[in-house]
A = this chain, B = another copy of it.
């Protein structure tokens, strides 16, 4: 039995595009003699379709796409994810299903049992969990078809679900496990995924063919990394990250690799270096945001600091340097090196760069506003005013030239609210918004090791917003090493103040930091979507009340 894994970059709601892409891969797999081709979870509509699933019209289009794929399933079995209508009147109206297509029609359907409803996942919002398990016959073999999370309840200390689908299926004597996934990237995911699959191999003694999405859907990036493990839990092959591809595997060869002399001596998976993955993931995220929205041009404000420098490097790699306009907007508080460092970076990259001064417009605003300031002194108002003038400049250029403004905020400043709403928080996409400041530096260093493009001075000078004389981030924030540790404990680890203090951090600092995080929720509410690379990003996966009083 020859099994093809098609790891594809779908586009949510683009049925025509998704089906055309799958049709090509079906033809290719047939030509190479595959008996079966596996696509991703909810592949026909893309993942996550979110509330489009609540539209009957959308579901009809999903069904039509499945019919079209069924007509192509001649001489090959196609296994593809799509929503299907729950025929039982009680419960949610849909299932998250895998369709088994052959001989030109739908032969069987299997539905997802474990519905992730945490972090960025909302599956129980739409789907009824399935309880009625059965194995499927493909090319004369008994196959256990599972959908993503269905395999993830094994090997946990604190299992999320009372049920375990493979425990139900194993009694029916399946010979292999297929898994259709839509498993979004974060820097630990590739490792965790293989660990989970190994747990399944150990528990059930079966080979697993796991097929993931690749490509980005707004903030979610899918890393691909589709993988085949033999019954011994050894990685037989892992497909590339962040790229489309088709690979065909011979079941008997996979089986043979589990035993005897042909047993694999080492797992054939790829390195999973955190910053290498993040680097490639972010480039893919920018490319797909632009590509799927039909845009080619980007722009951003280049301050001379490390955040905008990194964003520019990533955007130039994703879109081509000629498509990314860098805009320098020095104010009276900007240092000379802000401009010279920025110019050097643009020269290194080959990006166009222009300069717009903040001062004239600032003067014009202040002339009107001062009579209404009632003699109050220079404060955050005037700082924000500079940032907002920059925002207006950038949005004007964005509108006039049809270019998307990239947001350059990092996760540390988003966390504590160290940014100006409608100023430096503007943009269509936050490229590095899921990287703490210390991770921003680490990624810059990683990139400079590949190709030294970021001027050293950008990486060594003290971070500053340059919104008042001689301002430094360290005037109002603790050193980033310490701040980021506290933020990680609170945001990723969800520890409380007592636990974080108990780890040796200064109590006043911890309390002030957590208070800043909770009080800045209103700012993050209006943030652009943030490319997610961590296990807990700001945005759809972290939902907090704005008027909440907890630790605030």
Interface residues of A (CB under 8 A from B): 11-14, 17, 46, 48-52, 54-58, 60-61, 88-93, 117-118, 122, 124-125, 157-162, 216-218, 288-289, 292-293, 354, 356-357, 360-361, 363-365, 367-369, 372-374, 376, 379-381, 384-385, 388-389, 391-393, 395-397, 399-401, 421-422, 426, 428, 494-499, 522, 525-529, 540, 542-552
> What is the CA–CA distance of A286 and B60 in the complex, to the nearest angstrom?
41
A429 to chain B, nearest CB (A): 9
Q: In the complex, which residues of chain B have a beta carbon less than 8 angstroms from the beta carbon of A289?
A: 547
**What is the chain B residue whose CB lies nearest that of A361?**
B364
* Other-chain contact of A498, B57, B91, B216, B380 (Cβ < 8 Å): B57
Q: Is the CB–CB distance between A549 and B395 below 8 Å?
A: no
Q: Is the CB–CB distance between A544 and B51 below 8 Å?
A: yes
A22 to chain B, nearest CB (A): 16
Q: Is the CB–CB distance between A522 and B395 below 8 Å?
A: no
A493 to chain B, nearest CB (A): 10
* Other-chain contact of A495, B57, B60, B380, B494 (Cβ < 8 Å): B57
A319 to chain B, nearest CB (A): 15
A43 to chain B, nearest CB (A): 14
Q: Is the CB–CB distance between B50 and A544 below 8 Å?
A: yes
A453 to chain B, nearest CB (A): 25
Q: In the complex, which residues of chain B have a beta carbon less than 8 angstroms from the beta carbon of A372?
A: 354, 356, 397, 400
Q: In the complex, which residues of chain B have a beta carbon less than 8 angstroms from the beta carbon of A364?
A: 360-361, 363-364
| Subset of 5 A-B contacts with CB under 8 Å | A11-B549, A49-B545, A89-B159, A217-B545, A379-B399
* Other-chain contact of A549, B54, B118, B292 (Cβ < 8 Å): B292
The 10 closest A-B pairs by CB, nearest first: A57-B496, A13-B550, A14-B549, A364-B364, A381-B399, A292-B547, A12-B548, A422-B422, A218-B546, A13-B549
A148 to chain B, nearest CB (A): 17
Q: In the complex, which residues of chain B have a beta carbon less than 8 angstroms from the beta carbon of A157?
A: 89
Q: Is the CB–CB distance between A162 and B90 below 8 Å?
A: yes
* Most chain B beta-carbon neighbours within 10 Å: one of A118, A292, A526, A545: A545
Q: A545-B217, A546-B218, A549-B13 are in contact. Are A56 and B496 (CB under 8 A)?
A: yes
Q: Is the CB–CB distance between B385 and A392 below 8 Å?
A: yes
Q: Is the CB–CB distance between B381 and A396 below 8 Å?
A: yes
**What is the chain B residue whose CB lies nearest that of A18?**
B549
Q: Is the CB–CB distance between B373 and A368 below 8 Å?
A: no
> What is the CA–CA distance of A57 and B493 in the complex, to the nearest angstrom?
12
Q: A365-B361, A381-B399 are in contact. Are A545 and B50 (CB under 8 A)?
A: yes
> What is the CA–CA distance of A550 and B51 in the complex, to the nearest angstrom?
11
> What is the CA–CA distance of A410 and B495 in the complex, to the nearest angstrom?
40
Q: In the complex, which residues of chain B have a beta carbon less than 8 angstroms from the beta carbon of A159?
A: 89-91
Q: In the complex, which residues of chain B have a beta carbon less than 8 angstroms from the beta carbon of A360?
A: 364, 367-368
* Other-chain contact of A91, B91, B160, B292 (Cβ < 8 Å): B160
> What is the CA–CA distance of A494 and B356 in the complex, to the nearest angstrom?
46
> What is the CA–CA distance of A527 and B541 in the complex, to the nearest angstrom?
18
**What is the chain B residue whose CB lies nearest that of A420?**
B395
Q: Is the CB–CB distance between A93 and B397 below 8 Å?
A: no
Q: Is the CB–CB distance between B421 and A395 below 8 Å?
A: yes
Q: In the complex, which residues of chain B have a beta carbon less than 8 angstroms from the beta carbon of A369?
A: 356, 393, 396-397, 400
Q: Is the CB–CB distance between A57 and B497 below 8 Å?
A: yes
> What is the CA–CA distance of A364 and B396 in the complex, to the nearest angstrom?
13
Q: Is the CB–CB distance between A12 and B522 below 8 Å?
A: no
> What is the CA–CA distance of A395 and B147 in the complex, to the nearest angstrom?
48
> What is the CA–CA distance of A164 and B428 in the complex, to the nearest angstrom?
45
- Extra 17 A-B pairs, beta carbons < 8 Å, given A88-B162, A122-B122: A14-B549, A46-B545, A49-B545, A55-B494, A91-B159, A117-B122, A216-B547, A217-B547, A293-B547, A356-B368, A364-B364, A388-B396, A389-B392, A392-B392, A422-B422, A428-B522, A540-B543
Q: Is the CB–CB distance between A11 and B547 below 8 Å?
A: yes
* Other-chain contact of A17, B373, B494, B549, B552 (Cβ < 8 Å): B549
* Other-chain contact of A361, B54, B125, B361, B379 (Cβ < 8 Å): B361
Q: Is the CB–CB distance between B51 and A542 below 8 Å?
A: yes
> What is the CA–CA distance of A379 and B398 in the complex, to the nearest angstrom?
12
> What is the CA–CA distance of A399 and B388 in the complex, to the nearest angstrom?
12
> What is the CA–CA distance of A395 and B293 in the complex, to the nearest angstrom?
30
> What is the CA–CA distance of A525 and B289 in the complex, to the nearest angstrom?
15
* Most chain B beta-carbon neighbours within 10 Å: one of A50, A397, A495: A50
Q: Is the CB–CB distance between B540 and A529 below 8 Å?
A: no
Q: A496-B56, A545-B50 are in contact. Are A158 and B392 (CB under 8 A)?
A: no
> What is the CA–CA distance of A369 and B57 in the complex, to the nearest angstrom?
45
Q: Is the CB–CB distance between A496 and B527 below 8 Å?
A: no
A86 to chain B, nearest CB (A): 10
* Other-chain contact of A528, B388, B399, B499, B525 (Cβ < 8 Å): B525
Q: In the complex, which residues of chain B have a beta carbon less than 8 angstroms from the beta carbon of A529?
A: 525, 546
Q: In the complex, which residues of chain B have a beta carbon less than 8 angstroms from the beta carbon of A399?
A: 379-381, 384
Q: A57-B499, A369-B356, A527-B526 are in contact. Are A396 and B384 (CB under 8 A)?
A: yes
* Other-chain contact of A373, B381, B400, B552 (Cβ < 8 Å): B400
